[in-house]
Amino acid sequence: MPLQRAMVRRIGLVLAGTVLAALTLPLLVPMWQREDGRTFCYPFLGPVERFNPDLSGSLLARARAHEDAHAAQCRRDGAVWHFVRRLAPSQRLMAEAEAYCAEATFAVANGGQARLEYARVQDELREAGWFHRFSSDVLADALASRCPQLAATAAREEAEWRAARARRRD
């Protein structure tokens, strides 16, 4: 019996150490080279945001808007669902589309053109490794579903820009 308790205690200790390492290591390791920021969603603690230390000014503000959207998702969905949702590529796409929408909306609110910001975040989604198997139409539809107003404004601005460009050529 004492041998069994010792074994259970050791397994519990190893499990607790593994969980602790899994929760704290992401906070201690340096940022990934191609990432501007990352949001970790922990049970009980909630969202923790990390940003690339090389960012400043408007780039940091955009990254903050994007990660703030993920933090809101963490608070809304809870840590477990937030984690599970990101395992399925289609659910991850919806989460990222929502965050990119927040980023583009922030940029437009601070003087950016909707057509350019919307196109930029569409390109970002296209370049994301998780979404290579999705067609451009599926990515565009996901972004438009999360940001219908921005999509409509971007389409209108694009049509106006093309019409003005066509008039200049004539």
- Residue ranges of domains in the chain: 1-30, 33-169
Instruction: Retrieve residue 92's tokens.
Output: 């991850």
What is the chain's Cα-based Rg?
A: 21
Mean pLDDT of 34-46: 88
Contacts of 109 (CB under 8 A, 6+ apart): none
Segment 46-62 mean pLDDT: 91
pTM: 0.79
Average pLDDT of the segment spanning 14-21: 61
In the structure, what pLDDT confidence band is assigned to residue 66 with cuts at 50, 70 and 90? very high
Measure the CA–CA gap between 143 and 127, rounded to whole angstroms: 14
Is the pLDDT at 33 greater than 80, yes or no? Answer: no
